[in-house]
Amino acid sequence: MKILHHTYITLFILLLSISALAQSSQPTTTPDSIRVQTPKAKQKPDKVLHAEPLYIDLIRDLGARKGEKEWNVGLGITDNETYDQYEALIEYEWAPIDRLGLEVELPFSLYYPTNGNEVAPGSRLNSVKLAAQYSFFVSKKYSTSLAIGYIHEFELIDFARYNQAQVFTGNVYNPFLIAAKRWGHNFHTLVYTGPSIQHHFQDDSIQTRWQINSNVHYMIPGTKNFIGVEFNKTLERADFDMTLRPQMRVSVADNLLIGIVVGIPVHRENERFSSFLRLIYEPGHKKNHL
Mean pLDDT by 10 residues, the chain (290 residues): 45 47 47 52 82 95 96 93 90 97 97 78 93 97 97 93 83 98 96 97 93 97 95 90 95 94 82 91 65
Query: Sign of the CA dihedral 227, 242, 80, 175?
Result: negative
98-107 as b/e: b if 16+ CB within 10 A: bbbbbbebeb
Which residue range(s) make up the domain with 202? 2-287
Write down the pTM of the prediction.
0.83
pLDDT for position 239 = 87
pLDDT for position 41 = 46
pLDDT for position 4 = 43
pLDDT for position 243 = 93
pLDDT for position 30 = 59
65: DSSP letter: -
Q: Give the 3-state secondary structure of residue 159.
A: helix
pLDDT for position 76 = 96
pLDDT for position 159 = 87
Residues 58, 192: Cα–Cα separation, whole Å: 9
Residues 190, 206: Cα–Cα separation, whole Å: 29
* Torsion angle of the four alpha carbons 91, 95, 100, 103, in this order, in degrees rounded to the nearest 10: -10
Q: What is the CATH number of the domain that holds 178?
A: 2.40.160.40
Number of domains in the chain: 1
